[in-house]
A and B are shown apart, each in its own frame.
Chain A
Amino acid sequence: MVPVEFYFVLSALLFFIGVFGFVTRRNLIAMLISIELVLNAVDINFAAFNRMLFPDGQLEGFFMSLFSIGVSAAESAVAIAIIINVYRNFHSDQVNSIENMKY
């Protein structure tokens, strides 16, 4: 059986890769993928902790990860819709292109 720490290490790596990607990428799609990575890291954490703390059958952690996957699916649908609109209006998928949205 894989020791539970491995899961934590994987989750931490995924999380920081996601954060790094979000900060460094200029492409909106790439930033969205990074956010997905962060969310997946959290999901893994939920599953691993649930297994570690309640080995005999309580499933709140799993439910939480299922819920989180659902939310992230909905969120990516909305995000992609926005990105498509940004692309149509600004002819670019670069995050700098919509800087003037701040006003």
Chain B
Amino acid sequence: MEYSYVFLILLLPFLSFIVLGLAGMKMPHKTAGLIGTLSLGIVTALSYYTAFCYFTAERGVDGTFATMVPYNFTWLPLGVLNFDLGIMLDPISVMMLIVISTVSLMVHIYSFGYMHGEKGFQRYYAYLSLFTMSMLGLVVATNIFQMYLFWELVGVSSYLLIGFYYPLHAAVAASKKAFIVTRFADMFFLIGILIFGFYTGSFSFSFAGNVVMGDGATPFIPVDVVRAVAAGGFIIPTALVLMFIGGAGKSAMFPLHIWLPDAMEGPTPVSALIHAATMVVAGVFQIARLFPLWIEYAPGQMSIVVYVGVFTAFYAAAVACAQSDIKRVLAFSTISQIAFMMVALGVCLPGHDGAVLDNHAQLGYMASMFHLFTHAMFKACLFLGAGCIIHAVHSNEMSTMGGLRKYMPITHITFLISCIAISGIPPFSGFFSKDEIITACFAYSPVVGWIMTAIAAMTAFYMFRLYYGIFWGTENKELHEHHTPHEAPLTMTIPLIILSVITLTCGWIVNFGSFVSASGLDYEIHLDKQIAITSTVIALISIALATYIYKGEKQPIADILYKRFPKLHRAAYKRFYMDEVWMFITHKVIFRLVSTPIAWFDRHVVDGTFDFIAWGSNAAGETIRPWQSGDVRQYAVWFLTGTVALTLVLLCLL
């Protein structure tokens, strides 16, 4: 099979993780960084080559790209079910390979500058390699269980990287929070997988359609949906919704979003890679992967995805308007944008004329994947830009910034490009993907369409509030005189330039719909003029509003608004007290009503039983210990007495 080299895409980052993890401490920083970056450079080249081969290959007879499975083997035979490992290439996984390898490579290069001289530099690169390996494994998984395996691995690497600055208490707390919240959600994912596997008899993505197996690859066991439906119509929807809860945890959907803002305690390039571009879209990817099942067997349950997505998008956008920490603003913006992708998947409608998959009814699928792609690029660029700014002023707070455009021209321009892209102004990439999402929403319901348009306007507003707050606005002259901000080194600005070029061009240079679409058929993206103009005008109005409020040296309107609505501002700043609600639920309700009695039972009943047994044996031993006196004559007396006693007993008995 022509794709037999793809195992290298997983193997190389893994090897670099092993090498850096075991021998990294003995290497100089530069060597360790070069090993990580070089292996990732090769992976990126391979990914691009794979994508090139895959998308330039002939389409099949049915007009779709064939799903290639170069490798698949049974890892654990579990009786009837099998746990396979393998590599599967289809349009979305190939697209994800490009996204992950590109952003990861940019982050690897950027980290040379950002992490320069940091203690644990080698460890950092080892973790980055581990993360890249796991994320690539997740997207090329041939079955849900393999996806789950790598899903947990990305969770672990995310935990390790958030807690990278482990001497800081906040970083440790944030990493624990991220791990626990996502693990809690993953429990539902696992239950969903088990229900699904139990009733359909297979974990494989065999419903992908047009599957071509490589030589020696174990064939997929077909997913027997008919049997599952016969066992109960609710089974497949239940399994899918449980899996969606897992995805919502990873993708920071309300109310499981609480870990993502705190995850910003990690190094900024990590936030760009894991908590903006790749790992957090795993939930979106999961739904896209299972999309044929959702649309055919659980179309009604897709409205859950829509409601969760719409609410999360609105909530996160509202919170982002009031945050003062630039990374937190970006974190909430990420949550909001991922919610856009979720909504786009949820608003897909059943196909026309009895077809299950239909490009027009399921425009949202393409829109979601498109937005995932463009968002990964511009959000990574924004985060890396934020990293440059933090590098320059040594703080995350907007109050230490302002007027930075004079000091950091490259960062300023690239940040501006990404801000315009996320706001949805043509011809930047964000415009095209967001426009498709809003078109899909209008087709689903005008209400959802208008809400999403409004949230897109909020996006433009808070992004430009951030932009003006950093680069214009009130300059913190005192601080800047004391320590003049300077442009970041080349290793940090080159990734910014590359990402912003991609952001500028990837919307209109290629037709994304001919690579990824719901049915796999070629789909020509065409803009709905009315919607495109409306959303552009609304975005421009919000940008103008942000300019009017935040651009000036003095910001009278912002101050008036702040004085008029102090409670609202406080609530938004405190993220509408969601963390406090969770703290209440966990500490006051779960800990007090469930954990405390269980702990009491464990301490007093379970431990008590064993403590008693141990104490009893100990006491018995202490009691008979003096008998072992070491005095031979005493033993002889005992022996004699015993013999006489035994004899007497025997005499009595016989």
Question: Is A102 close to B, CB under 8 A?
Answer: yes
Q: How far is the CB of B49 from chain A (nearest CB, A)?
A: 75
Whole-angstrom distance between the Cβ of B224 and the nearest chain A Cβ: 70
| Distance, CA A30 to CA B631, complexed state (A) | 15
B560 contacts the other chain (CB 8 A): no
Number of interface residues of B (CB under 8 A): 9
Q: Flag if B637 contacts A23 (CB, 8 Å).
A: yes
Complex partner residue of A22 from B628, B629, B631, B633, CB under 8 angstroms? B633
B628 close to A102 (CB less than 8 A): yes
Q: In the complex, which of the residues B629, B633, B637 has the most CB atoms of chain A within 10 Å of its own CB atom?
A: B633
Q: How many residues on A have C-beta within 8 angstroms of the other chain's C-beta atoms?
A: 14
Instruction: Tell me whether A89 is interfacial, beta carbon within 8 Å.
Output: no
Q: Is the CB of B628 within 8 A of A95?
A: no
A64 on interface, CB distance cutoff 8 Å: no
Check A101 for interface membership: any CB of B closer than 8 A: yes
Docked CA distance A83–B632 (Å): 14
What CA separation (Å) do A22 and B633 show in the bound complex? 7
Q: Which residues of B contact A95 (CB under 8 A)?
A: 631-633
Q: Would you call A102 and B640 a contact (CB within 8 A)?
A: no
Which residue on A lies nearest to B643, using beta carbons? A19
As a 0/1 sequence over residues 623 to 653 of chain B, the CB contacts with chain A under 8 angstroms (1 = contact) are 0000011111100110010000000000000
A35 to B630, CA, bound (A): 19
Asked if A100 and B633 make an inter-chain contact with CB atoms under 8 angstroms apart, the answer reads no
Enumerate chain B residues within 8 angstroms of A26, measured Cβ to Cβ.
633
How far is it, in angstroms, between the C-alpha of A22 and the C-alpha of B636 when the chains are bound?
8
**Residues on the B chain within 8 Å of A98, using CB:** 630
Minimal beta-carbon separation of A96 from chain B (angstroms): 7
Whether the pair B630, A102 counts as a contact (CB closer than 8 A) is yes
A100's contact among B630, B636, B637, B640, by CB below 8 Å, is which?
B630
Q: Which residues on the A side are within 8 Å of B630 (C-beta)? A: 98-102
Q: Specify which chain A residues have a CB less than 8 angstroms from the CB of B640 in the assembled complex.
A: 19, 23
Give the shortest distance, in Å, between B631 (CB) and chain A (any CB): 6
Within 8 A of B (CB), among A63-93: none
CA distance A23 to B631 in the complex (A): 10
Please indicate the chain A residues that have their CB under 8 angstroms from the CB of B628 in the complex. Answer: 102
Is A24 a contact of B633 with CB atoms below 8 Å? Answer: yes
Which chain B residues lie closer than 8 Å to A24 at the CB level?
633
With contacts A19-B640, A23-B640 known, is A102 near B629, CB below 8 A? Answer: yes
With a cutoff of 8 Å between Cβ atoms, the chain A residues found around residue B629 in the complex are 99, 102
Chain A, range 19-45, C-beta contacts under 8 Å to B: 19, 22-26, 31
Contact call B631/A99, Cβ cutoff below 8 A: yes
Distance between B654 CB and nearest chain A CB, rounded to angstroms:
21
CA distance in complex: A22, B628 (Å): 19
Q: Select from chain A the residue with minimum beta-carbon distance to B632.
A: A95
Show 21 residue pairs from A and B whose CB-CB distance is below 8 angstroms, ordered by the A residue. A19-B640, A22-B633, A22-B636, A23-B633, A23-B636, A23-B637, A23-B640, A24-B633, A25-B633, A26-B633, A31-B633, A95-B631, A95-B633, A96-B631, A98-B630, A99-B630, A99-B631, A100-B630, A101-B630, A102-B629, A102-B630
Known A19-B636, A95-B632, A102-B630; 6 more pairs at CB < 8 Å: A19-B640, A22-B636, A25-B633, A31-B632, A31-B633, A95-B633
